[in-house]
Chains A and B, each alone.
Chain A
């Protein structure tokens, strides 16, 4: 046989209890007051602060794909540069011979110089 307090506690916690014992406990004004107080206690102990959001802990993304991509870009740039160096046509230092020679004559107006 459990006490009034124990039966009401069991009722609150979804624990097993004898329905007749609960009836007896709640027929007593003190038992009813206890039930109401314990429900009020449960209410006031609930914290009011907002819980953290789900993005607090993000699954860590592996770093190696980023490193591999960066390395591939560097290798591509370096090999492109080297290939370009080897295939480039050397610059000609001498100009080709002239095919037409133009003589420059000073301009004199029709009335002569004043």
Chain B
């Protein structure tokens, strides 16, 4: 049977990464990651195999993310104009990614993040989100295509950066 310390060691990074993108703020992500484990430590962990433990944790995380968005929609925070202007290029990409993710339906966003950011399998995501594995597959596929459209500019930049980092150049030889 899994204990809270083991669960924390095994999953805190994945949960934090999920929250970072699900709520768009690192500080809130840290708080929510702790909150997951506080809840786990206060409850009796049901007997389960490892994969189920992961799905169980992410189900708790998903509920917390939903609560977070609900409470934020009741009292929206003001973002100052200075914060918006003073951003580096990488921060611009971060903001664009967060905006694109925020525009998605909550379930699609969570399914996508659990796959792409955390690396969970279809079965684990299905248990965490109350879906079938086929439902997970189709949502991930649809969300990828949607985000490909919305994030065309950052994707293009990332592609170019990756090519220049690898030192690969292409030379066209004209006949």
A interface residues (Cβ-Cβ under 8 A, vs B): 5-6, 9-10, 13, 15, 34, 36-38, 40-49, 51-52, 54, 56-57, 59-60
Q: Within the complex, what minimum Cβ distance (angstroms) separates B17 from chain A?
A: 5
Query: Cα distance A95–B53 when bound, in Å?
Result: 84
Q: Which residues of B contact A57 (CB under 8 A)?
A: 4-5, 8, 34, 37-38, 41
Q: In the assembled complex, which residues on chain A have CB atoms less than 8 Å from the CB atom of B21?
A: 45, 47
A51 to B20 Cα, complex, angstroms:
9
Q: Mark B105-130, 1 if CB is under 8 A from A, else 0.
A: 00000000101110000100000000
Interface pick from B68-76, B77-85, B145-153: B145-153
The answer to whether the Cβ of B45 comes within 8 Å of any Cβ in the partner chain is no
For B94, list chain A residues within 8 Å (CB).
47-48
B54 within 8 A of A: no
Please give the distance in Å from B157's CB to the nearest CB on chain A.
Answer: 8
Contact with A along B154-166 (1 / 0, CB 8 A): 1110110010000
A73 to chain B, nearest CB (A): 31
Check A49/B159 contact, CB under 8 A, given A38-B144, A44-B93, A56-B12.
no
Report B21 CB to chain A, min CB distance, Å: 6
Given A45-B116, A49-B29, residue A37 in contact with residue B155 (CB < 8 A): yes
What is the bound-complex CA distance between A42 and B162, given in angstroms? 13
- 8 Å CB contact of A40 from B9, B122, B159: B159
Contacts of A46 in B (CB 8 A): 17, 117
Contact (A51, B159) CB under 8 Å given A57-B34, A57-B41 = no
A56 touches B20 (CB 8 A): no
Q: What chain B residues lie within 8 Å of A5 (beta carbons)?
A: 141, 145
Closest to B20 in A: A47
Q: What 0/1 readout, one digit per residue, does chain B (18-31) give for beta carbons within 8 Å of chain A?
A: 00110000100110
Query: With an 8 A cutoff between CB atoms, is B169 at the interface?
Result: no
Whether A54 contacts B9 by the Cβ 8 Å rule is: yes
B22 to chain A, nearest CB (A): 10
A-B contact pairs, 20 of them (CB 8 A): A5-B141, A9-B137, A13-B115, A40-B158, A41-B116, A41-B155, A42-B116, A44-B93, A45-B21, A48-B90, A49-B20, A51-B33, A54-B9, A56-B8, A56-B30, A56-B37, A57-B4, A57-B5, A57-B34, A57-B37
